[in-house]
């Protein structure tokens, strides 16, 4: 009898929760885009590169910038197909042109399209529908995943409904815009640590976004750390986002932040070893209850330990060779 894999037995026939690279690195200028893609080629697909049309395009040059972005997606510098794009927001006159130019001119579809400054479910749904219609018009075979930036009062109020939209794969928290939207009622200390984790209104927003994502199988993506010199601050921010708020992904705005964020979100060696032991024993027991040390385990805990191994693999951590059959794809 063939040994069944975790994916086959632990999710009741449903797809396991989405898993994306743990770091999302933003680049706006051609120089920084190429530098970011070179770093991705060096480190591997452990982080995504988001080419930015919103803040990257100079006013009046939106079309040229979108064409530049399109030329890099699927090009020689896109080694792993993990390059996405942030387009302009719903109120901007160029957002539809961004979508058309990129989907028409890129050699392949972007890994995702990020929609900034979402203000309502209706606006987000219209943008998602336009991306879907455009990819069909240009003969792109599969839907393009959508990532939403939650940085307005309206988006936060509807965050669970936004997470339920069909093509949405991730919600990201836009800390700076969210704090600014309070017109000075939240101090600027909440834009950095420790205030960004401790201020009640910001803390509430982060928790709501994370909860909505986990309720709908989406990926919660944490806001940037503005620290670009002391990487211990970035590491601490990533650790708090992961351990206290349930985030499984985080933005980067500086190349030196990337390996720090990836390392912070990667499971530790001892956690990987424990997960491997428990899951291999479970597979040998045909996924019935087992005992590890003085602790009993069943399918509920197996799902947790499977998430540890999946995250380890996604962050480039070495796995025990005997775990390879756990990742086998059934035919």
DSSP string, 275-320: HHHHHHHHHHTTT--EEETTEEE-HHHHHHHHHHHHHHHHTT----
Whether the link from the prior residue into 194 is cis, omega within 30° of 0, is yes
Q: Domain for residue 11, yes or no?
A: no
Query: What is the CATH classification number for the domain harbouring 185?
Result: 3.20.20.60
46 and 77, same structural domain?
Answer: yes
Q: Domain for residue 233, yes or no?
A: yes
pLDDT given at position 168: 97
Q: Are the C-beta atoms of residues 115 and 87 closer than 8 Å to each other?
A: yes
298 and 224, same structural domain?
Answer: no
Q: Is 99 exposed, middle or buried (0-12, 13-18, 19+ CB in 10 A)?
A: buried
Residue 52 marked in a binding site: no
255 and 274, same structural domain?
Answer: no
Q: Is 151 exposed, middle or buried (0-12, 13-18, 19+ CB in 10 A)?
A: buried
Q: Domain for residue 220, yes or no?
A: yes
- Last residue of one domain, picked from the residues 265, 291, 311: 265
**CB count in 10 Å sphere of residue 66:** 27
Q: Domain for residue 299, yes or no?
A: yes
278 and 261, same structural domain?
Answer: no
Reported pTM: 0.92
233 and 145, same structural domain?
Answer: yes
Dump pLDDT digits (tens) for 119-130. 999 999 999 999
Q: Which helix (H) or strand (E) holds 178?
A: helix 175-180
- Last residue of one domain, picked from the residues 232, 248, 265: 265
Q: Are the C-beta atoms of residues 49 and 25 closer than 8 Å to each other?
A: yes
Q: Domain for residue 7, yes or no?
A: no
Each of the 331 residues of the chain gets a pLDDT tens digit; together they read 667 889 888 987 777 788 999 999 999 999 999 999 999 999 999 999 999 999 888 888 899 999 999 999 999 999 999 999 999 999 999 999 999 999 999 999 999 999 999 999 999 999 999 999 999 999 999 999 999 999 999 999 999 999 999 999 999 999 999 999 999 999 999 999 999 999 999 999 999 999 999 999 999 999 999 999 999 999 999 999 999 999 999 999 999 999 999 999 999 999 999 999 999 999 999 999 999 988 999 999 999 999 999 999 999 999 999 999 898 764 3
108 and 68, same structural domain?
Answer: yes
274 and 256, same structural domain?
Answer: no
194 and 81, same structural domain?
Answer: yes
pLDDT given at position 329: 65
Q: Domain for residue 144, yes or no?
A: yes
| Three-state secondary-structure class, residue 149 | strand
Q: Domain for residue 202, yes or no?
A: yes
> What size, in residues, is the chain?
331
Q: Domain for residue 180, yes or no?
A: yes
197 and 101, same structural domain?
Answer: yes
Residue 177 marked in a binding site: yes
121 and 242, same structural domain?
Answer: yes
Domain count, the chain: 2
150 and 188, same structural domain?
Answer: yes
- Last residue of one domain, picked from the residues 220, 243, 265: 265
Dump pLDDT digits (tens) for 201-212. 999 999 999 999
How many degrees, rounded to 5, is the angle at CA 221 between CA 53 and CA 39? 60
Residue 24 marked in a binding site: no
Q: What domain range includes position 69?
A: 23-265
Residue 272 in tokens:
């990987």
314 and 184, same structural domain?
Answer: no
């Amino acid at each position: 009898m063939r040994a069944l894999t975790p994916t086959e037995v632990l999710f009741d026939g449903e797809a396991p929760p989405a898993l994306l690279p743990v770091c999302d690195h933003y680049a706006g200028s051609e120089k920084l885009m190429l530098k970011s893609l070179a770093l991705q080629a060096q480190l591997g697909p452990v982080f995504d590169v988001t080419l930015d049309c919103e803040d990257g395009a100079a006013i009046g040059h939106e079309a040229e910038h979108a064409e530049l972005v399109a030329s890099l997606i699927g090009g020689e510098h896109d080694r792993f197909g993990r390059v996405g794009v942030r387009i302009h927001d719903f109120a901007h006159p160029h957002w539809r042109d961004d979508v058309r130019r990129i989907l028409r001119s890129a050699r392949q579809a972007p890994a995702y399209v990020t929609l900034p400054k979402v203000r309502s479910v209706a606006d987000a749904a219209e943008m998602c529908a336009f991306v879907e219609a455009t990819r069909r018009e240009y003969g792109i075979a599969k839907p393009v995943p959508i990532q939403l930036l939650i940085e307005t009062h309206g988006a936060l109020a509807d965050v669970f409904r936004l997470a339920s939209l069909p093509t949405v794969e991730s919600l990201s928290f836009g800390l700076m815009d969210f704090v600014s939207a309070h017109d000075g009622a939240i101090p600027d200390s909440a834009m950095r640590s420790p205030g960004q984790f401790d201020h009640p209104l910001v803390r509430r927003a982060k928790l709501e976004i994370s909860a909505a994502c986990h309720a709908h199988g989406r990926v919660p993506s944490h806001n940037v750390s503005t620290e670009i010199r002391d990487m211990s601050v970035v590491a601490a921010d990533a650790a708090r986002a992961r351990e206290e708020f349930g985030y499984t992904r985080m933005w980067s705005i500086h190349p030196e932040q990337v390996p720090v964020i990836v390392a912070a979100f990667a499971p530790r060696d001892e956690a990987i070893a424990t997960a491997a032991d428990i899951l291999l024993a479970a597979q040998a027991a045909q996924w019935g209850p087992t005992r590890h040390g003085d602790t009993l385990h069943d399918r509920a805990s197996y799902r947790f330990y499977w998430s540890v191994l999946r995250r380890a693999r996604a962050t480039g951590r070495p796995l025990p060779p005997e775990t390879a059959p756990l990742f086998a794809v059934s035919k």
